[in-house]
Amino acid sequence: MKATKIIKRWDLAVALFALIFSIFLPGALQGAAIPSVENVVAGKEPIPTIEDLTGGKVKIGDLVDKNNVELVKEYLTVAMYELVKRGMVLRMGTQLPPEQLNPPSFGAATVRNRGKAVLIGNAPYYEKEGNIWPGGIPFPVAKNGLEAMCNYHYGRAWDSYHTAPIDLWYVNAKGENYKTIGQEHIYVKCSGRTVLPPFGTIPGYDNVYLKRISVATYPREITGLGQFTVRYYDPGKDYDTGFVYLPAFKRTIRTSATTWQDNIVGSDITYGDGDGFQDPFNGWNFKLTGRKFMLVNEPKSPTPIFDEKGQLSKTVQFDQGKKYPRLGWVIAPVDVVEGIPKIKHIYGKKVVYVMMWPYVFTGSGIHATDIYDRQMKLWKGYLQMFGRHEYLNGDRKMPQTPLSGALTYDLQTGHSTLMWMHHMPNVKLDPDKDVNLGILLKKGR
């Protein structure tokens, strides 16, 4: 009897201890149920939802604002956390299966070429130097920061894109959109092509990775102000070639690589900030500081982001004037890469959040970038926006997730730039016909 009483008291103590433990240390129990990033990207376990990660405290459909942001803080970028505290509201969205995020030929290339990438200089090659990477994510599980950044740059799930219209909103600290600039972008990837023929490398473009045109379409004063840029395969061997067309003078002049550090028509975005990170890699040291689950912008919004003309839909809500679009956010596995510039730079550091394979969106492989000034103080947050899931040419065997825009917020001044982009990836474009100096001339006045 005495032994039974002791056993009962011990059971009660254990149960009580477990109850106290589960209340005050929820992660301890949850930790056992949460899959690792490695297992998720290997396909061994399903990706957790925010509900799984927060133990049910935050569910899909819930709103996260400054009052409950601590519940999801570890899944936000540093800048995002600050923005929520300042008034941004996040809706918890629904992730899609990874095979719905990018064209299957891109995924097939990743699988087919897995393990064959070697990093030489700043670029991946297929088994040995000289063999240009044929396409797909080169390092599905990156071992270092440069490999993770190569996954983003050389593992783009588009072979070309045309983005129009683009509306660049200038939003002041009061949340007023006081100025808008229109743009159009045309990009053609010349190697690593997996969706549009010619696959692999376009003949004649062995050392060229990208050709791009970016041109202002309004207001009238800058209509036609455009850039033509060639990014070579290994930026350590060949630096960018750039030209700018000045419509006020009807002249095309050569530009220098410093342009990457300058802002785009006075906005909060520099040319190097675009898409999360556009600076040539050879000017940076990268370090993989970790990988984790993070809240990234959802691949498919329940309401349209754009209308049939590619203009922002009136259904998109905002908080604090036009500062913060209220969008959906989902859990994805992310490599966290710290970049420190080797050259004289306006920035002291960038922390780039690179989405891990297979959860790579067609529009971009970067979820967000935290940008620090030279005193290492947090300066800007850059967030990519998606929300559009579609089928290329209506073919349901060709899913893709284009970009919808980017928010760049200057945390030190409260000024922000919202770039709404009607991004059309994998449209048929030719590097000779569609991306040349003559195009700048045509689009200029």
Partner 1 sequence: MKAKFWLTKKWLLVLPILFLGVVEAKAEIQLSDTFSVTGYLRHELAVHTGKMNPNNTLIGQKDNNAINLSRTFFQTEWAYNPNATFNVFSKVKVISDQTQGLDNNLNDYNAFPLATPRYGGYLRATNDREFDVEMSELYADLTLGNLWFRVGKQQIVWGEMISARILDVINPLDWSWHFQLEPEEFENIRLAQWALRGRYNVEQATGAFEWLRDLYVEGFVNPGDISPTIFPAPGSPFNLKPPTPPIFRIREEDRQGDTEYGFRVGGRVGQFAGTLNYLSLYSDGGFLESGPLLAPGPPSPANPFPTVNKYPKTELYGASLNYNFPNPIDVTVTYEGVYSPDEPYYEALAPTPRISTGKTLKHAIRFDRKTFVFPTPISAMMIQFQYSQTLVSNSEKLKSTPSPFSAANNIDSTQNTFALVLSQDLWHNDINLSLTSLYDLDGASMLRPGFKLKRGNHWIFDIYGVILGGSEARPGRLGSLNFADEVFGRITYQF
Q: Which residue's CB is nearer to partner 1, number 261 or number 364?
A: 261
Query: How far apart (Å, rounded) are the C-alpha atoms in residues 240 and 242?
Result: 6
Q: Where in 264-303 is the site for partner 1 (CB under 8 A)? A: 265-268, 283
Q: Which residue's CB is nearer to partner 1, number 266 or number 290?
A: 266
| Residue 203: DSSP 8-state | T
Q: Which residue's CB is nearer to partner 1, number 236 or number 304?
A: 236
> Least distance (Å) from partner 1 to the CB of residue 268?
7
Q: Which residue's CB is nearer to partner 1, number 148 or number 440?
A: 440
- Is residue 259 close enough to count as binding partner 1 by CB under 8 A? yes
> Least distance (Å) from partner 1 to the CB of residue 240?
8
Query: How far apart (Å, rounded) are the C-alpha atoms in residues 42 and 140?
Result: 9
For residues 94-126, one letter each, b for 16 or more C-beta atoms within 10 angstroms of the residue's C-beta and e for the rest, the string is ebbebeebbbebbbebbeebeebbebeebbbbb
> Least distance (Å) from partner 1 to the CB of residue 217?
8
Q: Which residue's CB is nearer to partner 1, number 199 or number 243?
A: 243
Q: Which residue's CB is nearer to partner 1, number 170 or number 277?
A: 170
CB neighbours of 60 closer than 8 A, spacing ≥ 6? 49, 50, 51, 92, 93, 94
Q: Which of 31, 130, 197, 203 binds partner 1 (CB under 8 A)?
A: 203
Contact present, 150 and 184 (Cβ < 8 Å): no
> Least distance (Å) from partner 1 to the CB of residue 222?
9
- Is residue 185 close enough to count as binding partner 1 by CB under 8 A? no
* Long-range CB contacts for residues 438-443, cutoff 8 Å, separation at least 24: 439/186, 439/213, 439/215, 439/226, 439/228, 440/213, 440/215, 440/224, 440/226, 440/227, 440/228, 440/243, 440/245, 440/252, 441/245, 441/252, 443/184, 443/215, 443/217, 443/224, 443/226
- Is residue 182 close enough to count as binding partner 1 by CB under 8 A? yes
- Is residue 174 close enough to count as binding partner 1 by CB under 8 A? no
Q: Which of 131, 180, 315, 317 binds partner 1 (CB under 8 A)?
A: 180
445 closest CA partner among 213, 187, 246, 300: 246
- Tokens 């679009």 correspond to what residue? 325
Determine phi and psi for 332, rounding to 5 degrees: -145, 155
Q: How many residues bind partner 1 (CB under 8 A)?
A: 58
Residue 116: what residue type? K
- Is residue 39 close enough to count as binding partner 1 by CB under 8 A? no
- Is residue 250 close enough to count as binding partner 1 by CB under 8 A? yes
- Is residue 219 close enough to count as binding partner 1 by CB under 8 A? yes
- Is residue 307 close enough to count as binding partner 1 by CB under 8 A? no
Q: Where in 396-435 is the site for partner 1 (CB under 8 A)? A: 410, 413, 415, 431-433
Kind plus residue range of the DSSP H or E element containing 106? helix 104-112
CA distances from residue 356 to 7, 75, 150, 397 in whole angstroms, order as listed: 50, 15, 12, 22
Residue 130: what residue type? G
Q: Which residue's CB is nearer to partner 1, number 68 or number 259?
A: 259
Give the bridge partners for 399, in sequence order.
Answer: 391
Q: x/- contact string, 362-401, with partner 1 (CB under 8 A)?
A: -----------x----------------------------
Enumerate binding residues for partner 1 (CB under 8 A). 167, 170, 178-180, 182, 202-206, 218-221, 223, 230, 239, 241-243, 247-259, 261-263, 265-268, 283, 343-344, 346, 373, 410, 413, 415, 431-433, 436-438, 441-442, 445
